[in-house]
């Protein structure tokens, strides 16, 4: 037999034997047809390239070991019951010659033919899969080039500088502006890259407006739960039109947790670098990491992990995003309505944190009022609140906007008596807050405020205890719009 024939025959083992009979099998010259089984050999590696049709044994011990090994093969549904043939060692050579003739001639040719067919079928299947993959790749390329509903027209990739200090605190205390170096015609959405996102306690606020007319386009208020540490797509319900204009993107955050807004590579054009009203070293000749998309509005681009719809449409409105100044918050006065006379100051201004403390009392409502804090044209108000002590009892917090120069204690007394505010006021409703995480409180007016209003911060107890319930409110942010031109802060 040629070496090629021996190799082909030996590649498929049709006989099983115990490892104890290896010497007798080798003397008979059929070891290339035998798969050896035993207690020391695992069935899975031993059955590679084998299909046992018969088992042979030369002794009682070998037969017992072989039967134990064949029991494990019953788990394989494709392997039938293998009969065990007992051979005598004295005439084993003659018996093995008959088995060899049967295995190498009739069954061997059939096994080699079956293996060849299986190999050819496997090769044809692999070629078919390759053809399908190539077809899918060509189809995807065609769809991207010709039928992509949203297309990327400009991008600044994120870049991490070892000297980066992060602009998280800058976003919470001010804002970052970015001019988009593309025409507004057909813009359907903007993508911003975030390198880190807190689990909760933060909100990303994105505003899009026109530079030439100072008209607003849309505003997105996205809580941290909707953001991902990757690209975030902010979609428009309708694409920008009505002539080519320059778009300005303004980004800020609310809440005590910081959002890691990514910056791009340094660029030569100072006009298209990110800017803020507060200087920051990371903004020196660096833009935000952003992408601009045109196409069908409301459609998420491929490979974008999420899509965020706008919370407000500012079409035709002039907008201004501003925060309450510390000198205004420092004028807060205590207007609490409670039968309990506290031994400590329940309402005060924290100068170094630009925050207000409003400690609840066992009964009644603790309240602090800031006169004329809300300007005409304001459409939304937001702030964050947290119990600033790890063992502090939970409390309920709310905001109340009342007409300027109103009787503040009367407004609070009305809330205590009826549980609702007067028709002339805007009430946020009660939100429970604890020491474990901060919450965001928002008020969205149906129409802009027509005149100055007073801001009132309210708190009350939710349990029998108010121990260490130091309620701290910070990050007071307001959005103002009007139909007339306003002096937008730069």
Specify the pLDDT at position 486: 39
Query: Could you give the maximum distance between any two Cα atoms of the chain, in Å?
Result: 119
- For CA atoms 50, 56, 58, 59, give the dihedral sign: positive
Q: What percent of the chain has pLDDT over 90?
A: 30
Strands (E), 8-78: 13-18, 34-37, 50-57
Per-residue model confidence (pLDDT) at position 108: 62
Provide the CA 276 distance to its chain's centre, in angstroms. Answer: 28
Q: For residue 229, what pLDDT is reported?
A: 93
| pLDDT confidence tier of residue 151, bands split at 50, 70 and 90 | confident
Say whether pLDDT at 85 is over 60: yes
The pLDDT tens digits for 369-379 are 999 999 888 88
* More confident: 184 or 437: 184
Whole-number pLDDT of residue 490 = 34
Asked if the model's pLDDT at residue 412 lies above 80, the reply is yes
> What are the tens digits of pLDDT across the range 8-48?
444 677 788 888 888 888 877 778 888 888 754 454 455 66
pTM of the complete model beyond 0.85: no
Under the banding of pLDDT at 50, 70 and 90, the label for residue 485 is very low
For residue 223, CA distances in Å to 191, 237, 257, 311 come to 16, 20, 11, 11
More confident residue, 357 or 168: 357
Q: For 273-301, write each residue's pLDDT tens digit.
A: 999 877 888 888 899 999 999 888 888 88
Most confident of 94-103, 143-152, 437-446: 437-446
> Rounded to the nearest 5°, which phi and psi values hold at 190?
-125, 140
pLDDT at residue 189 greater than cutoff 90: yes
Are 346 and 359 in contact by the 8 Å Cβ rule? The answer is: yes
Burial grade of 230 (CB within 10 A; 0-12, 13-18, 19 or more)? middle
Q: What angle do CA 163, 169, 170 make, to 5 degrees?
A: 85
Supply 486's token pair. Answer: 């306003």
pLDDT tier for residue 140 given thresholds of 50, 70 and 90: low
What would the two tokens of residue 187 be?
């813009």
**Cβ–Cβ under 8 Å, residues 331 and 370:** yes
Q: Could you tell me the pLDDT band of residue 148, with boundaries at 50, 70 and 90? A: low
Which residues does residue 350 pair with via DSSP β-bridges, in sequence order? 355
Strand ranges, E, within 353-449: 355-358, 366-374, 378-387, 395-403, 426-427, 431-433, 439-444
Q: Is 85 helix (H, G, I), strand (E, B) or coil?
A: strand
Instruction: Convert the pLDDT of each residue in 227-255 to its tens digit.
Output: 999 999 999 988 887 678 899 999 988 87
Alpha helices in 388-480 (DSSP H): 408-418
pLDDT score recorded for residue 149: 78
Q: Where are the beta strands (DSSP E) in 21-170?
A: 34-37, 50-57, 84-86, 150-155
CA distance 173 to 282: 16
Q: Cα torsion for 433, 439, 444, 448, to the nearest 10°? A: 100
Worst-scoring range by mean pLDDT, 156-170, 306-320, 362-376? Answer: 306-320
- Say yes or no to pLDDT of 93 above 50: yes
Write down the mean pLDDT value for the chain: 82
- pLDDT at residue 356, rounded to an integer: 94
Asked if pLDDT for residue 100 goes beyond 90, the answer is no
197, 163 Cβ separation under 8 angstroms: no
Rounded to whole angstroms, how far apart are CA atoms 200 and 55? 67
DSSP 3-state of 98: helix
Instruction: Give Cα separations from 462 to 148, 245, 346, 393, 459 (angstroms).
Output: 54, 52, 16, 9, 10
């Amino acid at each position: 037999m040629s070496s090629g024939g021996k190799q082909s025959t030996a590649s498929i083992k049709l006989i099983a034997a115990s490892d104890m009979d290896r010497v007798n099998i080798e003397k008979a010259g059929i070891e290339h047809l035998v798969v050896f089984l035993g207690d020391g050999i695992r069935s899975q590696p031993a059955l590679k390239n084998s299909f046992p049709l018969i088992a042979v044994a030369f002794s009682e011990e070998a037969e017992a070991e072989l039967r134990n090994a064949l029991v494990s093969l019953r788990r394989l549904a494709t392997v039938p019951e293998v009969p065990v043939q007992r051979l005598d060692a004295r005439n084993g050579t003659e018996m093995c010659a008959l088995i060899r003739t049967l295995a190498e001639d009739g069954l061997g040719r059939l096994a080699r033919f079956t293996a060849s067919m299986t190999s050819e079928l496997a090769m044809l299947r692999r070629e078919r899969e390759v053809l399908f993959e190539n077809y899918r790749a060509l189809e995807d390329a065609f769809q991207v080039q010709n039928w992509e509903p949203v297309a990327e027209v400009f991008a600044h990739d994120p870049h991490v500088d070892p000297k980066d200090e992060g602009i998280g605190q800058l976003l919470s205390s001010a804002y970052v502006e970015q001019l988009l170096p593309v025409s507004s015609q057909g813009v359907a959405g903007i993508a911003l890259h975030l390198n880190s996102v807190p689990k909760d306690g933060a909100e990303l606020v994105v505003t899009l407006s026109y530079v030439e007319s100072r008209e607003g386009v849309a505003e997105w208020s996205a809580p941290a739960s909707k953001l991902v540490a990757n690209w975030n797509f902010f979609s428009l319900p309708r694409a920008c039109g009505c002539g080519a204009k320059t778009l300005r993107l303004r980004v800020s955050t609310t809440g005590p947790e910081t959002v890691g807004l990514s910056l791009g590579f340094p660029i030569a054009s100072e006009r298209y670098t990110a800017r803020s009203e507060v200087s920051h070293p990371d903004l020196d000749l660096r833009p935000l990491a952003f992408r601009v998309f045109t196409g069908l509005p409301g459609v998420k681009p491929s490979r974008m992990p999420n899509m965020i719809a706008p919370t407000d449409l500012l079409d035709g409105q002039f907008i201004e995003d501003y925060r309450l100044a510390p000198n205004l918050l420092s004028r807060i006065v205590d207007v609490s309505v409670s039968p309990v006379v506290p031994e400590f100051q329940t309402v005060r201004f924290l100068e170094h944190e630009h925050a207000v403390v409003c400690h609840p009392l066992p009964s009644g409502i603790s309240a602090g009022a800031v006169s004329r804090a809300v300007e005409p044209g304001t459409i939304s108000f937001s702030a964050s609140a947290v119990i600033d002590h790890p063992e502090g009892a939970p409390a309920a917090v709310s905001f109340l906007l009342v007409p300027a120069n109103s009787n503040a204690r009367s407004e609070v007394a009305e809330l205590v008596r009826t549980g609702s505010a007067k028709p002339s006021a805007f009430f946020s409703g009660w939100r429970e807050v604890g020491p474990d995480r901060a919450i965001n409180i928002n008020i969205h007016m149906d129409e802009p405020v027509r005149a100055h209003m007073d801001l009132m911060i309210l708190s009350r107890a939710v349990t029998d205890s108010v121990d260490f319930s130091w309620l701290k409110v910070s990050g007071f942010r307001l959005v103002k719009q009007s139909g007339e031109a306003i002096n937008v802060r730069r």
